[in-house]
Amino acid sequence: SGKLAPELLGAIAVAAYSYMALVPLIQPPIMKALTTETERKIRMVQLRTVSKREKILFPVVLLMLVALLLPDAAPLLGMFCFGNLMRESGVVERLSDTVQNGLINIVTIFLGLSVGAKLVADKFLQPQTLGILLLGVIAFGIGTAAGVLMAKLLNLCSKNKINPLIGSAGVSAVPMAARVSNKVGLESDPQNFLLMHAMGPNVAGVIGSAIAAGVMLKYVLAM
């Protein structure tokens, strides 16, 4: 939005953060409408142990592929991969601790100030702001429904059954969407913990959103 519509940056940022807070209200009705009680009780197999080498190679390979195939998305995913590499490598503990605690708080404050500075009344209090909010809710609902339906589709050809509730976590609201998947699952089966299973599609949603934004920028800016 900073490149395509700078004047709408404030409204879009407020809308995005609003959806993060409203995930527990938006997602559960859709998840329950598209799944049966039996499906919500599906218990998934134990997650495999991921080796340290895989954890280190993942951000490196991901960034290389994105930088080669989609340079527009490289800066955003580069920060994600860099932070992940610092944490998993274990050789820069002091820097990793600073990034996870002090630095993230400072960045959050400045991000809030930057967005707040864009919220000038004559630009924010406009009918198009309501349109942005409405489109965002619709997009969030479609993303939630598509994730649940895709998980149900995969169950048709998968040996190990997938709980469709984790499909709803495939949106870029981390970790709230995964927590909602876990909460709805616990309502049907108090012993069925889906949080770690849901974190996979949740992080994939972040990566997918960044790549989709990069694709859009590439083609829209080229027009």
Domain ranges (residues) in the chain: 6-221
Gyration radius of the chain's alpha carbons: 19
**pLDDT truncated to tens, each residue of the chain (223 aa)?**
667 777 778 788 888 888 888 899 999 999 999 999 999 999 998 888 899 999 999 999 999 999 998 888 888 899 999 999 999 998 999 999 999 998 999 998 998 888 888 787 777 778 888 888 888 889 889 999 999 999 999 998 888 899 999 999 999 888 899 999 999 999 999 999 999 999 999 999 999 988 888 888 888 777 7
pTM of the predicted model as reported, rounded to 2 decimal places: 0.84
C-beta of residue 63 within 8 angstroms of C-beta of residue 78: yes
Query: What's the count of helices (H) and strands (E) in the chain, helices before strands?
Result: 10, 0
d(CA 91, CA 94): 9
CA dihedral (213, 70, 219, 3) positive or negative: positive
Question: Measuring CA to CA, which residue among 52, 126, 54 is closest to residue 91?
Answer: 52
